Amino acid sequence: MPQFHQQTKHSFMSIRKNSFFLDWRTQPTTYKTYPHFQQCFKIEDYEALEGLNLIGGITFEKEYPEGKYYLRTVPSAGALFPCEVYVQIRGVKSFISGVYHYESKRGILTLLHEIDSDGVEYYFPSKAKQKGFVFLISAIYFRSSWKYRDRSIRYILLDAGHQLGTIYTALCVMGTPSNFAFDFDKLALNETFGFRKDEMFLASVTSAEETPKDTIKPKLTFPYVCGCDHLETNTFIEEAYAQSANYSDEPFTPPNFFQNIPKEQLKQAIINRRSIRAFRGAMTSKESYEFIVQELFEFAKSHNIDIFYTLHRVEGVQEGLYKNGTLIQEGNFQEKSRYLSLEQNLGGMSAVTFYFTSNEVEKYQKVSILSGFIAHIIYIRCELQGVGCSGIGAYYDDEAKAFLNTPNNILYLLAIGN
């Protein structure tokens, strides 16, 4: 397993011995803003960009004594939102071809660099020009490490997976295809975008038509803009990222997980999605359960991810421990899942608690991100069925492996139910 995964495990003793004081005065901002003199475009003003705000737009506002908090279409561990999205747009009607930064709070695209023969395609194995949209997902790690310290290397990968899922579902509403890519020169692209070690690229989505012409390297290095008003560096996270960033992999087109869902219904599910805080312990229907999990086990296995789960409250379905849709042990495992979820009631009061696992080493980043992506598909399907859902990023690693009787690393837990 990657060394940094081993070094960031939780155990019953570690979470009690490693408590620390969280200084709320130093919490970093969750938005990256480029200087006002750079050209900006409001997304809602352009018909060709209709629906693009679904990739991360504001869906709800909460006001507290210390200020306002904004919920987005994308979930995030601790609502810390480490991910940023950059979009290259080429050959789209009535829009300047260029590389843009997406700012969710104002729903704008900020132009960073106009393109012609150059472009971000240069950093991918196939350097062919892409006519359409190329989305790049990055993470500003201190937004997460401020609270979660070294273990945040895991959370930013899962958050990137949820961001990937949000872009994917938005493109489904827009009626355009998605193609996922993890194999590109992230370290070189970081330099071109003017990132320092505090921001890092993780994944890409294209919704574009490939042309016969190759691109050249972007002609300019973009100016550095810090994504945090307060920044504390973490060499552990920086080294873990650098060691796992680049690997060989083939781009792929994911299945259409929302093929028969009307676009307006899917749009409302994206907007209304929330993370549940508690379950009532009510039963979930078999029909809802089957709708939520359909096709996901096959997709996960095709990318070397095994999904275990404890099933507690689904009408007409045997209680027990399952792996990739197959019952491997009958029994009531509510209390076990509650305990393994760092003793959170969500894990035991759910209808189903999923455990995303993998033995992948070289592509650890990819399987972690895809675990977040699959979890996001479950989130949206739960919303479509009126079922609650919540991600659980903190758990007792080795005890969970022992319970599941697997050599795989535990990457993520997710609870659904009513």
Which domains, from first to last, does the chain contain? 22-244 (3.40.109.10), 275-417 (3.40.109.10)
The rounded mean pLDDT for the chain is 94
Give tens-digit pLDDT for 172-223. 999 999 999 999 999 999 999 999 999 999 999 999 999 999 999 998 889 8
Residue closest to 136 by CA, chosen among 84, 179, 175: 84
C-alpha–C-alpha distance, residues 73 and 268, integer Å: 10
Encode 285-297 in three state secondary structure.
Answer: CHHHHHHHHCCHH
Rounded to the nearest angstrom, the gap between the alpha carbon of residue 218 and the centroid of all alpha carbons in its chain is 27
Q: Are 202 and 157 in contact (CB under 8 A)?
A: yes
Q: Residue 180's beta-bridge partner residues?
A: 205, 252
Higher pLDDT, 61 or 131: 131
DSSP assignment, residue 254? Answer: P
Residues 354, 412: Cα–Cα separation, whole Å: 8
pLDDT of residue 379: 98
Query: Stretch 29-53: mean pLDDT, rounded?
Result: 93
List, for residues 230-288, the tens digit of each pLDDT value: 888 999 999 999 999 999 999 999 999 999 999 999 999 999 999 999 999 999 999 99
- Six token digits for residue 388: 């609650």
pLDDT at 68: 76
d(CA 321, CA 403) in angstroms, rounded, equals: 10
- Give CA separation, 345 vs 12, 92, 252, 341, 385, in Å: 16, 48, 37, 8, 22
Nearby residues of 79 by Cβ (< 8 Å), 6 or more positions away: 30, 69, 71
* pTM, full prediction: 0.96
Q: How many residues does the chain have?
A: 418
